[in-house]
Structure 1
Amino acid sequence: MRRIAIVGAGQAGLQLALGLRAEGYEVTVVSARTAEEIRAGRVLSTQVMFGPALALERAAGLRLWDEQAPRIDGLDLRFAAGPGTPPLSFSASFDGAAQSVDQRLKMAGWLELFEERGGRVEHRAVAADGLGPLAAEYDLTLVAAGRGALAEVFTRDDRHSPFEAPQRTLACVYLHGVTAADEQPDGMGPRMRVLATPEAGECIVMPALTLSGPCDILLWEAAPGGPYDCWQDRPGAEAVMERSLELMRTYAPWEYERFAAAKPTDAQATLFGSVVPTVRHPVAEVGPGSYVLGMADTVVVNDPVAGQGANNAAHCAASYLRSVLDHGEQPFDRPWMQHAFAAFWERARHASAFSNLLLAPPEHVGRALDAASRHPEVAHRLANVYVDPSDAPEWIMDADRTAAYLAAVGQP
């Protein structure tokens, strides 16, 4: 029986571990925390899972919260040049509802499910120098430990890493008591809401499920040095809410009343940080002739502005599972690892490019937003690039293709 080790108990690592167990592989997950510690800890992310990623989870029998998690039926996007400037805006439906589940709830549940299904869990931290002994013990070792120190064993790929520094500083809070928006005339339900302001950054709101029930996640994507960039002191949850209301009063007054009575879901409901969007070479040598393979945001890190992180992780786990199963009893050598990553990169490259585009949108993206505010077909296509970024190169990544598409739909 093939023995596989996965370092990290997040979306990618646990989804792959559960998939491999279902196929009879002997799998060990190395997790720095127990399920109880994950539930009791700080929120991990601002995840939103779009339809294709949810389909992968459902096919694997991992959608444990389908009935409890709120639907996210579409996208409301507003683009304002500055405070007091009437924003361009549109609402459009997603092709298939999205959902967001607090990863404290999800990862703790999956970790327990993995053990129930016969998987082995080692609760310990692994340092970079511990990867060599681990890899010597198993037929295949994968690193799914996120952006921490273990990611540094994988070298940066400058071809796909255009930024040297974070393009946004990030702050989020999970909230109860946000007033629901009215339904759209066409019956579309709750939407993910995005306000983009060039001088400030983005304010993003999404319905979600947390440990204490349905909630809303508020994410500030702050342009460094701009008015949203005010989280260096990492305030407590109540202070985050007070400061958020001050920002909304100026930059999103239509949201202010909806959030006026909101309260943090718990004392651990905030997260702060920043991300340097980076692609790393996926294979690292950790001993003479001994290699490990990186997964998801260990080797492909995107800013969360386009909501691609958890989706990339789900697609990575599904892609790697197919590569393992197709490989049979052959050795998991370096060429196989490169091939496995290349199969995943076919999708991940579009998610990275689209995320990076939103961090520094060129002029033609503004023209597309303007057209979307007046033309439902353009709005629908733009909203669904979030769902399937592989459509982005066909029209939104290139000024000439954008112009040709807008001309074709009658929007010069």
Structure 2
Amino acid sequence: MRKILVVGAGQSGLQLALGLQSHGYEVTLMSNRTADEIRSGRVMSTQCMFHTALQHERDLQLNFWESQAPRIEGLGVSVAAPGSWSEGPAARAIDWVGRLDGYAQSVDQRVKMAGWMETFAQRGGQLVIHGAAVGDLDYFSRAYDLVLVSAGKGELVSMFERDPERSPYSEPQRALAVAYVHGLGPRPEHPEFDAVRCNLVPGVGELFIMPTYTLSGRADILFWEGIPGGPLDAFQGVKDPNQHLALTLDLMRTFTPWEYERAAKAELTDAGGTLAGRYAPTVRKPVGRLPGGGLVLGVADVVVANDPITGQGSNSASKCAAAYLASILEHGDKPFDEEWMGQTFDRYWNTAQHVTKWTNAMLAPPPEHILNLIGAAGQLQPVADRFANAFNDPADFENFFYEPAKTEAYLAEVAGGPAA
């Protein structure tokens, strides 16, 4: 029986640990918090997961909350008319919603990670509650066939070298602020189905709104992404959760009044329902070296950390866990050497590279052909639907998003006329 150590109990670490456990591996999971501490703590992410990522959970029979979580059937995009907020209430220049082929869902990670951790322990897994340092891993690594590091923050990440060729940004590109709320009304248009709402405010930032399932049931997430130094970069130093929500709503009133209209009764789900911070999007080399010569393999956002502007964090974590699980199972009883680690990461990078390329493109001011594409989606429903479904499969953006000629040809094809 092969012995594997997983350090970090997030989406990827837990999914991988439970997957390995189900195949008879002897798995030890290290977490710096207990399940109860996670459940009673602060929200960790926005985690809207699309069909492919959800299917990886279903394949392992880990979709415990699927019947309770709202089914997100669409993805809408609104664009504020540039500068309109400086002359009075902001106005929308673009507003549409695309339908998803397979529904998306969001489950508060406090609910999911606590539940999965308890399941891992109930199934006989060894759960170690301990904040791991590099020195700890140096000691533990000798007792395991493979050590996987999925703790995306703190000292352990420093073992993994930044890959400058794949990391165009060295500074945070957005200031992030999240609030989980009850009492948000439905959008007056399409109230019959749930949708993620992406509100783009040119030169200022973005507001994302998504239905979720949290400790107290159905809720919605309000998520501001502000360009650093701009008017949305206002949450640093805000410690009081109610002040955080008041600021969130105040910014909605100014920049997205069409969303603010349904927020009159919004109140925080709980005292831990807010989160603020920022980080630089970074791709790192996948193999970390321990002082004693041992090697560890980085998982998910340890090695590929994208800005959450495209909502891909938990999706990528699920896809990474699925790719790594397949590689481990296929490898049998052969040693997990550096060559295998590199090949295993490359298997994940085949999908992750599309996420990184798209996310980095969305962080930059949009070029004219992208504005044309987003505008055309308001008149051509197939364009809106394809854009929405590319959140599930970002590789599809290669076919119609990045190059002006491909975008033009695609729009001409959908409109039924020749390209200009």
Q: Measure how far apart 1:21 and its partner are.
A: 0.5
Distance in 1 of aligned mates of 2:316 and 2:58: 16
Q: Does 1:362 align with 2:384?
A: no
Hey, what does 1:25 align to over in structure 2? 25
What TM-score, normalized to structure 1?
0.97
Please say if residues 279 and 299 of structure 1, whose CA atoms lie closer than 8 Å, have aligned partners that are also in contact. Answer: yes
Q: Does 1:180 align with 2:182?
A: no
* 3-state SS of paired residue (2:261): helix
* 3-state SS of paired residue (2:360): helix
* 3-state SS of paired residue (1:218): strand
1:110-121 paired onto structure 2 within 5 Å: 110-121=116-127
Residue identity in the other structure for 1:409: V
Residue identity in the other structure for 2:285: H
Please say if residues 306 and 359 of structure 2, whose CA atoms lie closer than 8 Å, have aligned partners that are also in contact. Answer: yes
Distance in 1 of aligned mates of 2:154 and 2:277: 13
The answer for unaligned runs of 5 or more in structure 1 is: none
Q: Does 1:335 align with 2:339?
A: yes
Match of residue 127, structure 1, among 129, 133, 142? 133
1:2-401 paired onto structure 2 within 5 Å: 2-80=2-80, 81-82=82-83, 83=85, 84-182=90-188, 184=190, 189-360=193-364, 361-401=366-406
From the superposition, tell whether residues 89 and 183 of structure 1 become closer, same or farther in structure 2 (CA, over 3 Å).
closer
Distance in 1 of aligned mates of 2:340 and 2:320: 15
Please say if residues 275 and 302 of structure 1, whose CA atoms lie closer than 8 Å, have aligned partners that are also in contact. Answer: no
Aligned residues: 410
After superposition, the C-alpha distances for 1:201-251 in whole angstroms (9 at most, x for unaligned) are 000000001101110001000011211111112242211221122112221
Distance in 2 of aligned mates of 1:358 and 1:235: 29
From the superposition, tell whether residues 373 and 183 of structure 1 become closer, same or farther in structure 2 (CA, over 3 Å).
closer
Runs of 4+ in 1 over 6 A off after TM superposition: none
Distance in 1 of aligned mates of 2:149 and 2:142: 14
Distance in 2 of aligned mates of 1:303 and 1:149: 20
From the superposition, tell whether residues 346 and 214 of structure 1 become closer, same or farther in structure 2 (CA, over 3 Å).
same
What TM-score, normalized to structure 2?
0.95
Please say if residues 385 and 392 of structure 1, whose CA atoms lie closer than 8 Å, have aligned partners that are also in contact. Answer: yes
Distance in 2 of aligned mates of 1:128 and 1:352: 28
From the superposition, tell whether residues 86 and 34 of structure 1 become closer, same or farther in structure 2 (CA, over 3 Å).
closer
The answer for unaligned runs of 5 or more in structure 2 is: none
Q: Measure how far apart 1:407 and its partner are.
A: 2.4
Please say if residues 78 and 92 of structure 2, whose CA atoms lie closer than 8 Å, have aligned partners that are also in contact. Answer: no
From the superposition, tell whether residues 86 and 39 of structure 1 become closer, same or farther in structure 2 (CA, over 3 Å).
closer
Please say if residues 183 and 190 of structure 1, whose CA atoms lie closer than 8 Å, have aligned partners that are also in contact. Answer: no
Identical aligned residues as a percent: 49
Residue identity in the other structure for 2:60: A
From the superposition, tell whether residues 404 and 148 of structure 1 become closer, same or farther in structure 2 (CA, over 3 Å).
farther
Residue identity in the other structure for 2:326: R
Match of residue 407, structure 1, among 367, 387, 412? 412
Distance in 2 of aligned mates of 1:86 and 1:213: 32
